[in-house]
């Protein structure tokens, strides 16, 4: 049970496909406090403190650090989702997962830097549950709609007052076209398999 | 920018109509004079619509040497005292005394205040507003009854810093009587669909203090009784809402009865085992809930599980159309 947010509003779990979430490597704190929440700037322009993801688990594996890692696949791509001792509820679920199966999970996005200086996105599960196909289909539909809406809004933005929101400087001047391509590819992949 | 939506002419004619509508039939008002005054305020001086309307009302009342409530027929002292719609109650009015005809709902009595006898909501079938009945100076026996319709004369509308909204004050000058007809309260049911993403408070098999009914933890001393309930975060990607389920609805949504929950807790020697067993069946699932919002909580009356309905062709059409509107490529 997460407890520290019970008296406040809660940051919603954004809906985004794996391919978009994995691009979201601009992560920053909002506020100066030690407990200030971290947000990832999604390439479609939305800030995400958490993301709700559903997909097919194809593999699960113990990491060298003693955490559990699963591969979560959706029509856009594949993401690693981790849980360890600090996420006991999620860890228990991920250790019991028997691939292949559908998994729904709320993840907190963050980044890590390799020795070469590349910055990658890491996803830590706050909680997770095995779900049925219908839940996966609802998520897919909703996530496609939300992504379309974010992209449509992004095209209306003329300038970014806050540099933390500037997707073009963080993700390149063609990011909106790349995202649209990602989205169309994901929808076509879905259509072929359903 | 949203303030620019209507043209000046529209604002003027709207304001003129509001003024003419709110003046009681017993007073003759020169329409041209009103229009001239409104035009002067809005067009020449750029006064906001609301202020212009109030200024004109005050000036009309002054001409007749009466006050604004008398002019609108809402003064309790005057002969005709028609009630004001709750949506028209406004603490920023020059003279925020009103007569309200409404049904009392969601009533409560504080046990820690000598000053407030009762609080709740007044609902006139269209809108509702919080009210406070002050103990001082009001009749000791006066208490509104849930679901009864009242005519409340000479109540004051104040802005409550605590609740951050306007509220009706029933005080020693107010006169409360049962209304001659019943008003059906407005439908305030909220519907929300989203994924269940977490618990938002003690859930599952919980202990309540027998006297207060409050949910307490294991360190609590004194008599308790067990209950089933859920408080869940339901999240649609834009908002997260705390949603509560009472005992019966918790049994329905989890498929675990109160008796089964007690067995689970007894076998595990742990109350928490119950929510541990419930959550895997709930987390990640989409649910539609309907009920009343009470503060930050949506109190579920009924729920159902929505079904997937993916129209991938339509999604593709929308996705492919995106860059056509962008204009920069």
Nearest to B322 among A15, A93, A148 (CB): A148
Query: What is the pLDDT averaged over residues B171-196?
Result: 90
Round to whole Å and give the CA distance between B214 and B207.
8
Q: Please, are residues A38 and A49 in contact by the beta-carbon 8 Å criterion?
A: yes
- In this predicted model, what pLDDT tens digit does every residue of B190-243 receive, in sequence order? 899 999 999 999 999 999 988 888 888 878 888 999 999 999 999 999 999 999
Maximum C-alpha span of chain A: 48
Q: Which two tokens stand for residue B292?
A: 């009343």
Say whether residue A9 is in contact with chain B using an 8 A CB cutoff.
yes
- Confirm or reject contact between B234 and chain A (CB < 8 A): no
Residues of B in contact with A180 (CB under 8 A): 319, 322-323
Is the predicted pLDDT of residue B4 greater than 90, yes or no?
no
**What is the signed CA dihedral for B299, B246, B167, B21, rounded to 10 degrees?**
50
- A5 — pLDDT class (breaks 50, 70, 90): very low
Predicted pLDDT of residue B1: 40
Q: What is the pLDDT of residues A22-79, one digit of tens each?
A: 999 999 998 888 888 999 999 999 999 999 999 999 999 999 999 999 999 999 999 9
pLDDT score for B78 = 35
ipTM above 0.85, yes or no: yes
**Phi and psi at residue B96, to the nearest 5°:** -85, 45
Q: What are phi and psi of A176, to 5 degrees?
A: -65, -40
In this prediction, residue B325 carries a pLDDT of: 55
Selection from B200, B286, B198 nearest residue A87 by Cα: B198
What are the chain B neighbours of A155 within 8 Å (beta carbons)?
322-323, 325-327
B71 against B314, higher pLDDT: B314
- pLDDT: is A61 or A4 the higher one? A61
Q: Does residue B317 belong to the interface with chain A, where contact is any CB pair within 8 Å? A: no
Is residue A90 classed exposed, middle or buried when 0-12, 13-18 and 19+ CB atoms within 10 A define those classes? buried
Do residue B279 and residue A14 have CB atoms under 8 angstroms apart?
Answer: no
**A16–chain B nearest CA distance, Å:** 9
- As a three-state string, the secondary structure of chain B is CHHHCCCHHHHHHHHHHHHHHHCCCCCCCCHHHHHHHHHHHHHHCCCCHHHHHHHHHHHHHHHCCCCHHHHHCCCCCCCCCCCCCHHHCCCCCCCCEEEEEEEEEEEECCCCCCCEEEEEEEECCCCEEEEEEECCCCCCCCCCCCCCEEEEEEEEEEEECCCCEEEEEECCCCEEEECCCCCCCCCCEEEEEEEEEEECCCCEEEEEECCCCCEECCCCCCCEEEEEEEEEEEECCCCEEEEEECHHHHHHHHCCCHHHHHHHHHHHCCCHHHHHHHHHHHCCCEEEEEEEEECCEEEEEEEECCCCCCCHHHHHHHHHHHHHHHCCC
The answer to whether the Cβ–Cβ distance between A12 and B329 falls below 8 Å is: no
- Report the mean per-residue pLDDT for chain B: 87
Q: Cα separation of B217 and B215, whole Å?
A: 7
Which residue out of A155, A157, A158 would a mutagenesis test of the B interface target, given it has the greatest number of B Cβ atoms within 10 Å? A155
Higher pLDDT, A44 or B39: A44
Residue B162 or residue B179, greater confidence? B179
- Which range is least confidently modeled, B123-127, B243-247, B253-257, B318-322? B123-127
Contact yes or no for A152 and B322 at CB 8 A = yes
Query: Higher-confidence residue: B327 or A94?
Result: A94
H runs (alpha helix) in chain A:
18-21, 88-96, 133-156, 167-171, 175-193
Rounded Cα gap, residues A102 and B305, in angstroms: 18
pLDDT band at B81 (very low <50, low <70, confident <90, very high): low
Top-confidence residue, B156 or B54: B156
Query: Quick one: closest CA in B to A88, which residue?
Result: B276
CB contact under 8 A, A183 and B323: no
The pLDDT of B65-88, averaged and rounded, is 68
Q: pLDDT tier at B158 (50, 70, 90 boundaries)?
A: very high
φ/ψ region of A66 (left if φ > 0, alpha if ψ in -120 to 50, else beta) reads left
Nearest CA in chain B to A50: B237
CA distance B67 to B93: 12
Sign of CA dihedral A81, A85, A87, A89: positive
Partner A, chain B 173-232, Cβ-Cβ below 8 Å: 195, 197-201, 203
Contacts of B198 in chain A (CB under 8 A): 1-2, 106, 126-127
In this complex, which of B199, B237, B319 lies closest to A187 when CB atoms are compared? B319
Residues A147-154 have a mean pLDDT of 94
Whether pLDDT at B100 is above 90: yes
Interchain proximity B198–A180, CB inside 8 Å: no
pLDDT of residue A171: 96
Q: In the predicted model, is pLDDT for residue B75 greater than 90?
A: no
Residue A84 has pLDDT above 90, yes or no: yes
- The arithmetic mean of pLDDT across residues B312-325, rounded, is 89
Percentage of residues of chain B with pLDDT beyond 90:
51
Structure-block tokens of residue A19: 């391919």
Which pLDDT tens digit goes with each residue over B285-308? 999 999 988 778 999 999 999 999
Reported as a single tens digit per residue, the pLDDT across A125-146 is: 999 999 999 999 999 999 999 9
The alpha-carbon gap from A57 to the nearest alpha carbon of chain B, in Å, equals 15
For chains A and B, count residue pairs whose Cβ atoms are closer than 8 Å: 121
In sequence order, the β-bridge partners of residue A15 are: A52
CB contact A174 to B (< 8 Å): no
Higher pLDDT, B4 or B301: B301
Q: State the nearest Cα–Cα gap between B192 and chain A, in angstroms.
A: 14
| A186-to-A25, A143, B28, B170 alpha-carbon distances in Å | 21, 11, 69, 61
Rounded distance, CA A95 to CA B102, Å?
58
Is pLDDT at B179 greater than 80 in this prediction?
Answer: yes
pTM of the model: 0.70
Q: Which residues of chain B does A105 touch, with a Cβ-Cβ cutoff of 8 Å?
A: 284
Asked if B197 lies within 8 A of A52 by C-beta distance, the reply is: yes
Put simply, whether A134 touches B (Cβ < 8 Å) is yes
Looking at residue B249, what is its pLDDT?
A: 97
The answer to whether residue B323 neighbours chain A at the CB level (below 8 Å) is: yes
pLDDT of residue B8: 85
State whether residue B258 sits within 8 Å of chain A by CB: no
Q: Which residue has the higher pLDDT, B5 or A100?
A: A100
pLDDT-based confidence at B5, cuts 50/70/90? low
Whose CA is closest to B264, among B274, B252, B279?
B274
Contact B197 A138 (CB under 8 A): no
Residue B77: its pLDDT value, please?
Answer: 39
What's the mean pLDDT when you consider all of chain A? Answer: 92
Q: How far apart are CA B237 and CA B231, in angstroms?
A: 18
- B49 Cβ contact list (under 8 Å, min separation 6): B11, B14, B15, B42
Question: In which band, very low, low, confident or very high, does the pLDDT at B2 lie, cut at 50, 70 and 90?
Answer: very low
């Amino acid at each position: 049970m997460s407890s520290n947010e019970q008296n406040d509003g809660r940051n919603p779990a954004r809906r985004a496909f794996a391919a978009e979430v994995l691009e979201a490597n601009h992560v920053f704190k909002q506020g100066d406090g030690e407990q200030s929440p971290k947000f990832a700037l999604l390439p479609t322009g939305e800030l995400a403190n958490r993301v709700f993801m559903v997909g097919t688990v194809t593999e699960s594996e113990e990491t060298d650090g003693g955490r559990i890692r699963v591969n979560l696949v959706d029509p856009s791509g594949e993401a690693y989702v981790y849980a360890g001792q600090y996420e006991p509820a999620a860890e228990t679920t991920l250790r019991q997962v028997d691939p292949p199966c559908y998994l729904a999970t709320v993840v907190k996005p963050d980044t890590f830097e390799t020795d070469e200086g590349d910055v990658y996105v890491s996803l830590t599960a706050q909680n997770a549950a095995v779900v049925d196909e219908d839940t996966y289909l609802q998520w897919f539909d909703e996530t496609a709609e939300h992504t379309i809406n974010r992209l449509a809004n992004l095209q209306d933005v003329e300038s970014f007052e806050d540099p933390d929101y500037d997707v073009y400087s963080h993700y390149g001047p063609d990011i909106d076209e790349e995202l649209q391509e990602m989205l169309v590819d994901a929808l076509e992949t879905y259509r072929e398999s359903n | 920018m949203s303030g620019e939506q209507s043209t000046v002419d529209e604002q003027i004619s709207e304001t003129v109509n509001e003024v003419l509508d709110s003046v009681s039939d017993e007073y003759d008002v020169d329409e041209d004079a009103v229009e001239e005054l409104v035009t002067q305020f809005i067009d020449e001086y750029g006064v906001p619509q609301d202020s212009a309307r109030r200024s004109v009302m005050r000036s009309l009342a002054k001409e007749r040497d009466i006050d604004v409530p008398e002019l609108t027929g809402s003064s309790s002292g005057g002969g005709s005292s028609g009630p004001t719609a709750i949506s028209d109650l406004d603490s920023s009015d020059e003279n925020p005394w009103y007569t309200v005809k409404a049904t009392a709902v969601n009533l409560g009595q504080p046990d820690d205040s000598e000053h407030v006898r009762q609080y709740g909501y007044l609902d006139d079938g269209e809108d509702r507003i919080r009210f406070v009945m002050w103990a001082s100076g009001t009749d000791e026996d006066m208490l509104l009854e849930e679901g009864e319709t009242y005519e409340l004369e000479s109540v004051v509308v104040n802005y409550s810093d605590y609740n951050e909204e306007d509220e009706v004050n029933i005080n020693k000058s107010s006169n409360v009587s049962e209304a001659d007809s019943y008003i059906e309260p407005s439908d305030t049911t909220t519907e929300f669909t989203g994924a269940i993403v977490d618990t938002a408070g003690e859930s599952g098999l919980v202990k309540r203090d027998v006297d207060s009914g409050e949910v307490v933890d294991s360190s609590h001393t004194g008599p308790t009784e067990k209950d089933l309930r859920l408080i869940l975060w339901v999240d649609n990607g834009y908002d997260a809402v705390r949603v509560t389920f009472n005992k019966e609805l918790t049994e329905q949504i989890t498929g675990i009865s109160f008796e089964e929950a007690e067995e689970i807790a007894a076998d595990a020697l742990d109350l928490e085992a119950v929510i541990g067993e419930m959550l895997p069946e709930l987390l990640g699932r989409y649910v539609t809930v309907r009920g009343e919002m009470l503060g930050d909580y949506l109190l579920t009356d009924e729920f159902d599980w929505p079904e997937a309905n993916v129209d991938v062709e339509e999604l593709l059409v929308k996705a492919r159309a995106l860059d056509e509107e962008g204009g920069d490529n």
